[in-house]
A and B are shown apart, each in its own frame.
Chain A
Amino acid sequence: MSLPNTSRRHFLVTAGAAAATAGWSFGQEPAQAAAARYHRLNLQNPAAAPFLESYKKAITIMLQLPPSDARNWYRNAFIHTLDCPHGNWWFVVWHRGFTGWFERTVRELSGDANFAFPYWDWTALPQLPDSFFNGVLDPNNPAFIASYNEFFAQLSNPMSALWNSFSPAQLQQMRNRGFRSINDVWQAVRDSPMFFPRGRARTLTRQNPGFDATTRRAVSIGTIRNALAPTDFISFGSGKTANHSGSATQGILESQPHNNVHNNIGGFMQDLLSPTDPVFFAHHSNIDRLWDVWTRKQQRLGLPTLPTGADLPPWANEPFLFFMGPDGKPVAKNKAGDYATIGDFNYDYEPGSGETVIPAATRPGDMNNKVWLGTLGASALNLGASARAEVMVPQAVPEAAMKEDGPAVFAKITIEPMADTKGVEFHVLVNAPEGAKQVDLDSPSFAGTFSTFGARLGGHENQPLSFLMPLTEAVQKLREANELKPDQPLRVQVVAERKGVNLTPLEAKVSEISVGTF
């Protein structure tokens, strides 16, 4: 490991931030906005009752829309049939997008500007809520299509027209699911079966709404704590596959409460037309809430919240091509990475079961000798690009660093072997202003500069180089300038610069950026 040869020179920050693939360098952003506009309440909260009335109003409208309208109730359910991931690492993120866009549609059609889906905390209430047997919240209601034959008659032509409008990319998604034609879709709907006639749209009834003992175990607080306990995204959110129609290992969240609730309710809820049952969105709001709980737990512990390293780009770039907006038109945000955080959906959750897994902020004394690995958003270093990572560091660290006896904070930067390091300096920035093209030496964001010294001998030419860059002063200055926001990651950036005239192209790759204390 080379010692930093710190020097302070005026330098330019390149606009090479663009090298970070737009939309997936978010890494560790907090799941919730600092002050959300919409609030997803617990269904059992009396304040949620007006939202259920708005939901019923919107459902009534959507049941009456012609099936040629993408906002028709059953057309919305078909989005799930055609595209939903189950048993893979896109499970939580796709359902966040699906539920989020549908929430906007309900908000629009109901005229309730504050509408947000109430969530069903089945850990606290292990039975189908009584409100979901009222009016159109119950798929057995006469407003719903009564038979498969009538369903096929109404939806067949519109679904064929939809299929014929698919782009090549959308048709590829269909092939990934084994659907080579719209007939394959209808065969699956008919044979599974996915449609249930009036009177059998659910198994649970108002007289018998409770989960059986096995399902109660699946939603119990012990199982939920197990589901929230994993420290990496894949173990939490189900396994890696090549595309979101593939099947890998289902994590505990999907395998236990998600699946068992779907199947115990029965009827539409037990297969891929499940959004036909209005309770689907209350169920999936709770799944999404638990993902948010897990994310905030990870953030508090300084652990990754998303797939890391080389796993992040393929996860974030997976196409989601079938979401529809409140205007009935395809949405522009069509990648998984667009839904990695709650972001523009701008909602938060009333606390519910599982919240206690988020540890309290640790004391300053606990901050010594820790390391937090950053999520690399861009790793290439050249004269046109900088490497950057977001590192989720507990809020207590900058607080502790302000104390005279607090921990020293450093960044560890590892660079892959370079052909020629002569004259190269590496400048390290922390939380540089977004879009800035120049950072002054006395900026709070400027942490320092390191460079290599001497020739690399003894067989070390092909080994990565790691540098420790002190960050304590930068962290202190940023905190004094109120530039460190709670629950937001440190943005560490490495900018390369070459002195003198050198005809060798400057190219380097950063393989790790982490932040530690000692």
Chain B
Amino acid sequence: MLLALPRDRAADEQVAVRITVGTLAKGARIVVKTAEGEVVGAVAPFGVLPGRKAGSFMVPVPLAAMKDGKVTLQLEVEEPAQVGKPRAPTKTEVEAANLELMPVSGTPE
């Protein structure tokens, strides 16, 4: 998916993608990769109370993956019962994915 920043990034801001997850099978995770296949992080819900959605998760996006304020990310669902067979998430699993900017100390990476 192609995601765009909401505005120009300031020099002291880093980029993260907020992934909002609905329901994900127990033990499954959503691996976040760049278009080149580099893993940048994973959403592995923990401690989800019964009957509730998994919530939103911040995954850092390397500045090197950004171009003109945009980045293409791949999201893959890995399930324990389907080892080696990642698939795209359903809309029930990933409800939204949005780039966000965060003020940070030090040099953003």
Residues of A within 8 A of B (CB): 84, 86-87, 177-178, 184, 187-188, 191-192, 213-215, 217-218, 222-223, 225-227, 229-232, 235, 239, 245, 247-252, 255-256, 258-260, 262-264, 266, 270-272, 297-298, 301, 303, 357, 359
Contact = CB atoms under 8 A, between A and B. Distances in A.
Given A303-B105, A357-B105, A217 B42 contact: yes
6 contacts: A87-B55, A188-B49, A188-B50, A249-B58, A263-B46, A271-B46
Contact of A248 (B14, B26, B56): B56
Contacts of B27: 263, 266, 270
A494 B90 CA distance: 57
Chain B interface size range = 35 or more
A229 B27 CA distance: 29
Closest 8 pairs between A and B when the two form their complex, measured CB to CB: A229-B104, A86-B47, A226-B60, A247-B55, A249-B56, A255-B57, A263-B44, A259-B46
B39 A86 contact: no
B44 A223 contact: no
Contacts of B62: 222
B59 interface: yes
A211 to B, nearest CB: 11
Given A214-B31, A245-B49, A229 B42 contact: no
A237 to B, nearest CB: 11
B57 A250 contact: yes
B58 A252 contact: yes
B103 A255 contact: no
A259 B45 CA distance: 7
Contacts of A217: 39-42
Q: Which of A223, A249, A359 has the most CB of B within 10 A?
A: A249
A250 B58 contact: yes
Q: Which of A213, A217, A227 has the most CB of B within 10 A?
A: A217
B5 interface: no
B109 interface: yes
A259 B24 CA distance: 14
Contacts of B49: 177-178, 188, 245, 247
Contacts of A87: 47, 55-56
A255 B47 contact: no
Given A187-B50, A229-B106, 9 more contacts: A86-B47, A188-B49, A214-B39, A218-B42, A229-B14, A229-B104, A230-B102, A256-B42, A357-B106
Contact of B50 (A178, A250, A270): A178
A488 B1 CA distance: 47
B109 A255 contact: no
A249 B57 contact: yes
B44 A178 contact: no
A225 B106 contact: yes
A272 B46 CA distance: 8
B65 interface: no
Nearest to A217: B39
B51 A255 contact: no
A239 B56 CA distance: 9
Contacts of A259: 43-46, 57
A247 B52 contact: yes
Contacts of A251: 58
B58 to A, nearest CB: 5
Contact of B44 (A187, A230, A260, A357): A260
Nearest to B103: A231
Contacts of B104: 229-231
A255 B58 contact: yes
A158 to B, nearest CB: 22
A518 B109 CA distance: 32
Given A218-B41, A229-B104, A258 B52 contact: no
Interface string B12-50: 001010100000001101010000000111111111111
A371 B13 CA distance: 20
Contacts of A303: 105
Q: Which of A87, A191, A301 has the most CB of B within 10 A?
A: A87
Contacts of B40: 217
B6 interface: no
A222 B42 contact: no
Nearest to B43: A255
Interface in B78-109: 78, 102-106, 108-109
Nearest to A225: B109
Contacts of A359: 105-106
A41 B48 CA distance: 31
Nearest to A235: B102
Contacts of B60: 222-223, 226-227, 252, 256
Nearest to B41: A256
Contact of B29 (A177, A184, A214, A223): A214
A192 to B, nearest CB: 7
A6 to B, nearest CB: 36
Nearest to A229: B104
A112 B41 CA distance: 40
Contacts of A214: 29, 31, 39, 42, 78
A272 B109 CA distance: 33
Given A213-B39, A252-B58, A260-B42, A226 B14 contact: yes
Nearest to B42: A214
A192 B26 contact: yes
